[in-house]
Amino acid sequence: MKTTIIAFVFLTCCFRVSGQQRLSGRVSDPDGAPLSGATVFVSESKIGTTTDVKGNFALSAPVNGSVKLVVSYIGYETQVKTIAPGMGAEMNFTMNPVSNQLKDVIVTSRSNDNWKHWGAAFISAFIGNSAFSAHCTIVNPQEIGFEYDPPSQVLHAYASVPVLVRNEDLGYLLTITLVDFTLYSSNNDVDYLAYYLFEEMKGNAGQQAQWEDNRRKAYALSLMHFTRALYAGKLREEGFEVRQFMINDGKEKERVKKLYRQLALHTDSLKNSRGNAEDVDKLIESRFGKDSLRYYKKILAQKDNEVKMSEPLRAGDISVKKEKNLSLNFKTQLQVVYKKNKEPEEYYNYRNHIALNTESISVTSTGISTSQLVMPPKINPYTELWLTKGIPADIKENGAIENNDLYLHGFWGWWEKIATKLPYEYYPD
């Protein structure tokens, strides 16, 4: 799924979510008994409630697209339903008890004190390493269990109850239902599925102002900022530059080389020729034409693993809007650069921790040679995007993405963690 904040340009988005729909229903156990106090919420929002003594709930949700309604209860498996606009009828949830296997993982982790072994890796991959992560804490780490497989170097994390997080820099209390967490420690890739409920923290006027300032900074660099700009067709105005790129894997070059070899070996008139390449060029031109020859010469001149970049793209080049849904679709990879800010200090250090250059300099006054570590300059943060299964990603007006197979590599893979998460109700004013 993958910072000292410097002068940011505070951006105002002019689009807002409008309209509400009422969602109601009942939560019960497999025998039909009501579950009082179950948490019911719209994922990645501030919209949530609890069931009453009869297991009933009611809340209002935006109608700008489908939402994920999440129901969780201690000791039971979380349930999620995707609710499309107009599906406001009564919804019943029958909750199943948590498996004994999951319980055993948590109990074993506690007895082995696995948090001491894997807690730091989990926090880094889940909470993040931005400046905001320093004051973002997990309230109940003892509820998280770990399993590590040494041969594959894969770490799994589990929680049988919601993970509670305090984000002191952004001013949110988060209730997180962790469905799946996998850390591939060999390459530091992380893949997780979680649902979040945000609650505003209470603070004085000074704290409120600081929280809003930090939220603006987090938003400016966020994936949500990009998806909203894409939806509104304002990529350039909001500071994003998008290009399509592909890496030449050498297959086409090898195909052309093979063609040259075959013509040189199997053409009688060329068998005894010393200038095979030139003669094959003439043969290709005579058989296939000048355009083909020009193309083949161009392919042979390519460098191996050469990266080609397109001109900057517009929203319409990579997406199609139908009613209130935007479909993001592209081949190969996209590179998204945020042009209005340089990369944060933490990411700059992370990106360059093994890329330091040593430069030899001469001190003219003494004639003594010495050396110093020279860091490359900061750049605009950029991210590479893949649709791993080729399935378009649906984007809503509020920036929500409906596709678990959108792969992020680069800045957003590092930045998009719990410490920088914002609810979809948030808009900078």
State pLDDT tens for residues 98-131.
888 787 888 888 888 899 999 999 999 999 999 9
Show the low-confidence residues of the chain (pLDDT under 70): 1-19, 63-65, 86-89, 247-249, 265-277, 302-306, 354-375, 404
Q: Taking the CA atoms of 252, 254, 257 and 258 in sequence, report the sign of the dihedral they define.
A: negative
Length of the chain measured in residues: 429
Burial grade of 369 (CB within 10 A; 0-12, 13-18, 19 or more): exposed
Residue 100 tokens read as 């004994």
Tokens of 354: 């093994």
Q: How many contiguous H segments (helices) and E segments (strands) does the chain have? A: 10, 24
Angle between helices 276-288 and 290-300 (to 10 degrees): 140
Give the pLDDT score at 249: 63
- Parse the chain into domains and list their residue ranges: 20-94, 251-305
Contact between 149 and 185 under an 8 Å Cβ cutoff? The reply is: no
At residue 293, φ and ψ (nearest 5 deg) are -60, -45
Q: Which residues pair with 81 in a beta bridge?
A: 69
> Taking the model in full, what pTM does it have?
0.77
Sign of CA dihedral 12, 339, 421, 205: negative
Nearest-angstrom CA–CA distance, 212 and 168? 12
Judge residue 85's burial from the number of C-beta atoms within 10 Å of its C-beta, 0-12 exposed, 13-18 middle, 19 or more buried: middle
How is residue 125 written in tokens?
């991959």
* Residue in this structure with the two tokens 């729909």, named with its chain if needed: 21
Q: Which CATH architecture has domain 20-94?
A: Sandwich (2.60)
CA-based angle 323:67:321, to the nearest 5?
A: 20
Measured CA to CA, the distance from residue 144 to residue 158 in angstroms comes to 6
Best CA proximity match to 349, nearest among 187, 130, 95: 130
91 neighbors 69 (Cβ within 8 angstroms): yes
Give bridge partners of residue 107 from the DSSP assignment: none
Cα–Cα distance, 212 to 37 (Å, whole number): 31
C-beta neighbour count of 405 within 10 angstroms = 11
CB 231 within 8 A of CB 395: yes
Closest to 161 (Cα-Cα) out of 35, 101, 95, 77: 77
Which residues of 248-330 form beta strands (DSSP E)?
Answer: 307-309, 319-322, 325-328
Enter the tokens of residue 272: 């005894």
Q: Are 43 and 402 in contact (CB under 8 A)?
A: no
At residue 12, the pLDDT reads 29
- Which DSSP helix (H) or strand (E) runs through 185? none
- Residue 4: predicted pLDDT: 24
pLDDT computed for residue 427 by the predictor: 95
What is residue 238's predicted lDDT score, i.e. its pLDDT?
97
